[in-house]
Amino acid sequence: MTLIKYEGIASCPPAHLFRLINAVEQYPKFLSWCKEARVNNRTQDTIQATALVHKYGIQFSCPFTYTLRSKNEISVGLPSGGPFSSVSGLWQFQGTSNETKFSFELRLEHQNNWWMKLFILPILKNEVRNFIKAFELRASLHR
């Protein structure tokens, strides 16, 4: 199992960042690899969506589910398959009216192959770090 976790600080209250993350339809505006994002189903505490990802010359659809646990936590369900037997994520927030400390973690169940350690995991770590930076920037621009 691999846990990839990055933290960020946004210049906005937690409720604002929470709304930004849940505004899935806006992802193509600030995530360069997201060419399209659509919500398939939205309830009071669940968002089922699909992102069209285009990165490293590869294009694919990535379905995901956000489960809104509280105003401080969103769990992320992602499809497993390929080299991963299980994939999940978690957003966590805490802050004041002017600043939010937040984190995103990605849990990956996989076999410990040499190519996983040398190629796939370093790419994923970099992408998660860039993902966090994009949300930090978006939050600071749209307060």
Containing structural domain, residue 27: 12-38
Question: What pLDDT does 143 receive?
Answer: 58
pTM for the structure as a whole: 0.85
- Tens of each residue's pLDDT in the chain, 143 residues: 899 999 988 888 998 889 999 999 999 999 999 999 999 999 999 999 999 999 888 888 889 999 998 888 999 998 877 778 888 999 999 988 889 999 999 998 888 788 888 888 898 899 889 988 999 888 887 65
Nearest by Cα to 104 from 80, 82, 135, 83: 135
N- to C-terminal Cα separation, the chain: 37
Does a structural domain hold residue 23? yes
Does a structural domain hold residue 138? no
* Helix locations, the chain, DSSP H: 14-22, 114-115, 121-141
Nearest by Cα to 87 from 95, 77, 99: 77
Does a structural domain hold residue 30? yes
How far, in Å, are 45, 74, 95 from residue 70 at the CA level? 9, 7, 14
Instruction: For the sheet with 58-70, list strands across it.
Output: 2-10, 100-110, 84-95, 73-77, 58-70, 46-55, 34-42
Pull the structure tokens for residue 83.
């080299």
Is residue 46 helix, strand or coil? Answer: strand
Does a structural domain hold residue 78? no
Number of independent structural domains in the chain: 1
Question: What pLDDT does 96 receive?
Answer: 85
